[in-house]
Amino acid sequence: MIGQLPDFLGIGAQKAGTTWLHANLAKHPEIFLPKRKELHYFNRKPRILLSLYKAKFRGADGKVAGEITPAYGHLPLDTIREIHGLNPELKLLLMLRNPVARAWSGAVMELATFQGLTAKDVPEDAYLEYFESEHSTARTRYMEMLGNWEQVFPKDQLFIGFFDDLKSRPWELLLDVFRHLGVSDQVEPKDFLVKKRILPVTKNHGVAKSRGTAGDMPGFAADFLGKMYKDEIAALKARFGEACADWS
């Protein structure tokens, strides 16, 4: 068997709990995930052959197969249409986090952790420049993401979860994902990593290490990002209400 196309894609958002989600989906007996979390097939040019991408799912053997690559969230419309053409029935998973917290966490990862530094080692000006970069803003414009994907895929094929639920209702969140994917929800919490904090791992100078946390956000960053994403947060609150009521 040469493999297959995935039945679902996790499309983001970056720094919104996708590593936790991947680790728990991999524990479900009816779900198949490649060993590598982020395949980056649809967002990289040039791409590998489609047959090589399908081979990543060899061994699914009737299971619901999928992969999670947070960069897919901000794919352009033409690529989203291409994905729909490959599998119109594709299920989608999107995790959302307070835009301010997501942008800060992403900045710390890129500017500090990837460089072997702590968050406090990075100058304020470097953070402010990064916050305004397309690399950061593209990953935080959730309403644009939603508009693009929902323009191509029916809304009922897109599951939207919230990072906040990882703390307040992790098991219920996971069951909601299982039901969306059409796999059994008659499973036991003890078989999953529901309450475990799961951090991505990166390689720094060839040595694998935990990416750690962003820690407390300094006032300059909170003020800057709060103003920057004020309208985005207002639009998200208008759509999702209670789910993001505490976002500011």
pLDDT tens readout for residues 71-123: 999 999 999 999 999 999 999 999 999 999 999 999 999 999 999 999 999 99
Reported pTM: 0.92
User: What are the φ/ψ torsions at residue 29 (nearest 5 degrees)?
Assistant: -70, -15
DSSP assigned state of 36: S
Average confidence score pLDDT of the chain: 92
How confident is the model over 35-60, as a mean pLDDT?
95
* CA nearest to 12, candidates 155, 163, 156: 163
Containing structural domain, residue 111: 8-241
Q: What pLDDT is attached to residue 198?
A: 65
**Is 31 part of a structural domain of the chain?**
yes
pLDDT bucket at 194, cuts 50 / 70 / 90: confident
Total of domains in the chain: 1
Enter the tokens of residue 189: 């919490």
Question: Which residues are CB-neighbours of 86 under 8 A, at least 6 positions away?
Answer: 5
**Is 1 part of a structural domain of the chain?**
no
**Is 145 part of a structural domain of the chain?**
yes
**Is 247 part of a structural domain of the chain?**
no
* CA nearest to 7, candidates 64, 70, 59: 64
Give 135-175 pLDDT, tens digit per residue.
999 999 999 999 999 999 999 999 999 999 999 999 999 99
CATH number of the CATH domain containing 46: 3.40.50.300
User: What does the alpha-carbon distance between residue 66 and residue 146 come to, in Å, rounded to a whole number?
Assistant: 20
